[in-house]
Amino acid sequence: MSGYAAVCLSCTEVVCGAPSIYLDFSRQKLDAKIAVAAQNCYKVSKGAFTGEISPAMIKDVGATWVILGHSERRHVFGESDELIGQKVAHAQSEGLGVIACIGEKLDQREAGITEKVVFEQTKVIADNVKDWCKVVLAYEPVWAIGTGKTATPQQAQEVHIKLREWLKSNVSEQVAQSVRIIYGGSVTGGTAHDLASQPDIDGFLVGGASLKPEFIDIINAKQ
């Protein structure tokens, strides 16, 4: 029920991730240069799936992106890697851009299996991607979401560069170099500049701070 915004810093592209009932309102009110994303969608175009929305519905109201695999979808609503992969495939087949989320929980980080977890999640996403030009990977350590804890710039950079190495080995060097990998996890106006200074952090998935004036500082973090 919260708001999200994705900020890609290379050309400062901003995408507003609104709750589904506000997608049309958001598209009408926002400047055309700001894209709109749904926060989730289902894996098929139609059927008896009460309460779900389809990529076709999302496109009908002018939204062009969807956020998939967010940690709350995984850990609160129990969505599996397999289901998230199916959603990625269907969203892409319908022409939506996908912001695909990956990330480890605190116990997984403490157990030293961060890379194992994020690689497994990324593989299922990658197996279902047909057009990498319309995919943004969002690394969001679950232990840093809404907790006030932020991964240090070095911790975030370590995972981002490992993800690029995985993409180089398992997808292609071109994809590894070109795909945008953004960071999510209690990003604020105060932390954004140092995070943005890391070479493999291409932007942010912003939760609560996207609803505050400091969001402008996050958008301008790379300048």
**Cβ 105 vs Cβ 72: under 8 Å:** no
Residues 6+ apart with CB under 8 A from 1: 19
Domain boundaries, given as residue ranges, for the chain: 4-219
Question: What is the chain's alpha carbon radius of gyration, rounded to the nearest angstrom?
Answer: 16
Closest CA to 63 of 55, 51, 52, 75: 55
Q: What is the pLDDT of residues 72-105, one digit of tens each?
A: 999 999 999 999 999 999 999 999 999 999 999 9
φ, ψ at 202 (rounded to 5°): -100, 5
Structure pTM?
Answer: 0.94
Annotated active-site positions, please?
70, 140
> Which CATH class, in words, describes the domain spanning 4-219?
alpha beta
Distance CA 20, CA 165 (A): 35
pLDDT string in tens for the chain (223-residue length)? 567 777 776 578 999 999 999 999 999 999 999 999 999 999 999 999 999 999 999 999 999 999 999 999 999 999 999 999 999 999 999 999 999 999 999 999 999 999 999 999 999 999 999 999 999 999 999 998 877 777 899 999 999 999 999 999 999 999 999 999 999 988 999 999 999 999 999 999 999 999 999 999 999 997 6
* Distance from C-alpha of 180 to C-alpha of 112, rounded to nearest angstrom: 25
The 10s digit of each residue's pLDDT in 177-194 is 999 999 998 899 999 999
Q: Which two tokens stand for residue 122?
A: 């990324």
Provide the H-helix boundaries in the chain.
Answer: 23-29, 55-60, 71-75, 81-93, 106-110, 114-126, 153-170, 173-178, 189-196, 215-219
